[in-house]
Amino acid sequence: MALPVAEWQARTARLWAALDPVLKERMGAASLHDAVRLGCDLLRSQEEEEAALVRLCHRARTGKEPEAASWYREQGNREFKRGQYQAALRLYSKAASHEPPGSPEVSVCFANRSAALLHLGHFEVCLEDIARAESHGYPDRLLPKVLLRKAECLLCLERLQEAQDILRVLESKITLDGVMTTHLTRLKKLSQLKVKLGEKKRSPEPAREARGGIQGEPEVWEENSRISGASSSLSLRFDAERGRHLVASQDIVAGQSLVKEEAFVSVLCPGESFPLQDGDTAWDTRATNADLYCHRCLRQLLASVPCQGCSYAKYCSRDCADMAWQQYHRTECSLGALLLTLGVFCHVALRTVLLAGFAEVSRLVEWSHHGEKNLQNPEAGCKPLSDAGDGSRGIPGCGSSGQYQSSYQALFHLLPHTEQHSPEHKFLCTLSVVAICKQLQAAGLEAAVLNQESPQQGSKPKTCEKTSDELSPELKTVAEAMLRHVLQLQCNAQAITVMQELGPGDGAVVDKKPVRLATAFFPVLSLLNHSCCPNTSVSFSGTAATVRASQPISSGQEVLHCYGPHWCRMRVAERQQLLSQYFFECRCQVCLEELESGVKSVVSIRNSFCCPKCQAQMQEEEDTLCCSNEACATSASRDHLSGRLQELQQQIKKALDLLRVGKADQAIKMLLKCQVDAGTFLSPEHLLMGEMEDHLAQVYATLGKWQEAARHLKKSIEIVEMHHGPSSVETGHELFKLAQILFNGFAVSEALSTIQRAEGILSVHFGPQSAQIQELQEMKACLSELPRNILQRT
């Protein structure tokens, strides 16, 4: 959630409505500096609002709760006994995150989790968890079973000498234990492992083919000397109409990398949260983004390393945890509930200031007081392009050498649009950042923010010795910078997305969808202007973004990125409405064509209703839709047809729920019935018609009926191509699924041709080293190695 929780928004809205009109006018016209001072005065006199915010924070439980740890561990044990090892893994991680520092129980969480990892075949990570259990004081009486698990992992990893050493240690421990009967099962397992070890030592390891990993062609990359992280094929320009923007300085081919940038700052979006209501006695077992991805580098988590101070932050390694602590989490740790309550934008703003360091923040804030007008109107404060010497000197955000870097200075110069934001929104943001700074002061964290001390992990910050509610001048500077960044984020926040598997992910065909994983600032990526028909594609790996040309770009042509509203997915009126948050009216080619010609958009036609009687397209006439076939003259209310559409979507959801619980035959019957119903009032090219074909393909693939699955997926691809184009990333993802189905169905020649087409599309959008391209190449290599007579037959 980008903005604060709805209850805090409602309270600040009521407070705004009750303000004196003169004060409203002052706040609406205030500079960032003055807005912070007004916000401090208002919040100091509103004790009730501060108390309400504290109550809201109690709903986001981010502290260590030993009772929760015990409960999660018990739930994990229950899932483990049922053979649900993936679920057990998540629950043991939740348990570990709630154990206080130094608790002996945390070693049990790690040991239990190692057992789940062993069953899932993650042997290296299992060894890491065993080491964590040992280092946290795992009870000596339980050590034999953990050592046995360790030996089994080493054996599976072909580390035979280490496995033998562990088995010797294990034998001696069991022998020294006087009560041998307690170890009978382990002795039996030990003897089995010793037999396996002997067999592995006697049989030489078969020679492996020297195929290695399949690698794509290495990409040629030459970095721009004037724009960090940008290709040398780009140049930075500036004019009053388009502001800062990038243009091609030479002809660019489709698939060529244009920008490779690490986020200056990123914050994991917690995902859908399920706050506990008053009276709840159990904790939630569902996993969100906060449980699935590292809170620093955004890698997918398998066995998370919890923060020692809070239950919320989780990391992929101790290195990531330590680095996060040093850079920002030492300050954020005790504020977790407040940051979750006030939203991701406030969290990004705070972390930006912490990463930049107070000295740099203070320098730029002070500079902005003298150049406030230039920051609001950058073209007034820089030289015309013809006078800019090297072409970039004088452009806002560039250093004295004229270089534009992915730095805090460049980020600071992104426009906050202070005068364009509504006074109510600016008021909400001001009170939110002031509330955070007041909490920093009250919690004794001011010195950490000002980079004057570094508290130890798990230690509680000293309480503030100040008796005044007045913020210190330094924290007012921090609040002003944070307010700037919160306002900047409305136009410059970049969503980091990831392809997330739908369902358990253990089938032969893996279905994925893009989900928002984090919100970030990318100063160089922010140079790209919007187009509803862009010529670039953006992909992410952890916190790094890569921009690639999605089509050929001629020298001198502007490089454009889609901010969300794409011409394939929305009508021009919908696009313009969504783009209003960026404070500009889109004048890209497709918008101008649709606005000037008055021609009905392709989206409107393809996603239209059709006549229930003759299947001709229905035309809009205010709230009534009339058949376009004059001989028919059927009409229906828009509300009636929209109601049918919603009901159809509910039925499709029920069919997918049946599939998730293993009732594939019932799911097929329900989806086929939905298809018949949809055919009576939806256009044959409607996206929902394609989605139903896709779902049917998924169900048939689950049953191993590959030909049926391929037939339905091909129909889905036809509709996706109509909407998004034959070279779109959406088409690429559908072709990837078709390649999986044809591969599993042994349709060799068709699979090879589909793989080739999917490779061609996906490599343009994601590059030759992406996971999907690697998987396609592995499938192709496997099929190509089949005997010639099989290849000819298929």
pLDDT tens digits, 680-693: 888 888 889 999 99
- Band the pLDDT of 597: cuts 50, 70, 90: low
- Band the pLDDT of 179: cuts 50, 70, 90: very low
Question: Could you read off the pLDDT of 726-738 as tens digits, one per residue?
Answer: 888 889 999 999 9
Q: How many CB atoms lie within 10 A of CB 531?
A: 22
Residue (of 429, 618, 634) closest to 13 by Cα position: 429
- Band the pLDDT of 281: cuts 50, 70, 90: very low
Contacts made by residues 293-301, CB under 8 angstroms, sequence distance 24+: 293/268, 293/498, 293/517, 294/320, 295/268, 295/324, 296/320, 296/321, 296/323, 296/324, 297/542, 297/543, 298/266, 298/268, 298/496, 298/498, 298/517, 298/518, 298/542, 298/543, 299/542, 301/93
Q: What is the 3-state secondary structure (H, E, C) of 120-181?
A: HCCHHHHHHHHHHHHHCCCCHHHHHHHHHHHHHHHHHCCCHHHHHHHHHHHHHHHHHCCCHH
Residue (of 719, 669, 725) closest to 690 by Cα position: 719
Q: How many CB atoms lie within 10 A of CB 284?
A: 15
pLDDT at position 382 is 41
pLDDT at position 714 is 96
Token pair of 560 as six digits: 């454009």
- The tally of CA atoms less than 13 A away on the side-chain side of residue 740 is 22
pTM here? 0.85
pLDDT at position 623 is 74
DSSP 295-348: TTT-PBPSS-EE-SS-SS-EESSHHHHHHHIIIIIHHHGGGHHHHHHH-HHHHH
- Band the pLDDT of 15: cuts 50, 70, 90: very high
- Ranking 408-417, 493-502, 727-736 by mean pLDDT, the lowest is 493-502
Q: Is residue 478 exposed (0-12), middle (13-18) or buried (19+ Cβ within 10 Å)?
A: buried
Q: What is the 3-state secondary structure (H, E, C) of 67-126?
A: HHHHHHHHHHHHHHHCCCHHHHHHHHHHHHHHCCCCCCHHHHHHHHHHHHHHHHCCHHHH
pLDDT at position 345 is 96
DSSP 418-442: TTTS-HHHHHHHHHHHHHHHHHHHH
Question: Could you read off the pLDDT of 751-763 as tens digits, one per residue?
Answer: 999 999 999 999 9
Q: What angle do CA 753, 756, 759 make, to 5 degrees?
A: 150
Letter for the amino acid at 450?
Answer: L
pLDDT at position 454 is 55
Question: Could you read off the pLDDT of 627-680 as tens digits, one per residue?
Answer: 888 788 788 888 888 899 999 999 999 999 998 888 999 999 999 999 999 998
Residue 448 has pLDDT above 60, yes or no: yes
